Structure 1
């Protein structure tokens, strides 16, 4: 169970809307609201991701994209390992037949 939210949902929505519509830098908006700049950045990014998922339900989240990249890299490494083992097995099979 996570910890309770420090800021009410309506405050978050208002802060996100202010950051989007004011034309001011997020750091300045965060200072005016007395919240950490990183906190507001996270809220804005999460809202942007939620908006993009609403437009395309099949869209991947940032963590899913990171995991996909990690898994693709792992597949390449495993394919390389498999090819090395296949060649080694063929080499040793030839050596035992001599």
Structure 2
């Protein structure tokens, strides 16, 4: 289970909107101080927003990150299923024994 978010999504959207619409753009630390959020949190939000908008290529988009999370969960589930199948196969192989196996 992921940790609870420190800042509400509305604050994140508002901060990003203020930063994007400001001309000239204020320093991140100054805007963060005005909004009472940690400067690195705002800096991270800005970078992710730029990646999502196609303005940066040095980090994956939110859509790609979510797809990776989904695939990791799916892989973990498939591995659990494979373990159950292996255990069942070993159990039934031992139960049938070499004399009762088909030729």
TM-score bucket (shorter structure):
0.5 to 0.7
TM-score (norm 1): 0.53
**Gapped runs of 5+ residues in structure 1?**
none
Q: CA deviation at 1:68?
A: 1.3
Gaps of at least 5 residues in structure 2 are 1-7
Deviation of 1:34 after TM superposition, in Å, equals 2.7
Summarize the alignment of residues 33-72 of structure 1 with structure 2, pairs less than 5 Å apart.
33-37=34-38, 40-41=42-43, 43-52=45-54, 60-72=63-75
Aligned in 2, Cα 1:62/1:45: closer, same or farther, shift over 3 Å?
Answer: farther
Deviations 1:65-92 (A, max 9, x none): 1221122122122112211111211211
What number of residue pairs does the alignment pair up? 84
Q: Distance in 2 between matches of 1:84 and 1:4?
A: 45
TM-score by length of 2: 0.51
* Alpha-carbon RMSD: 4.0
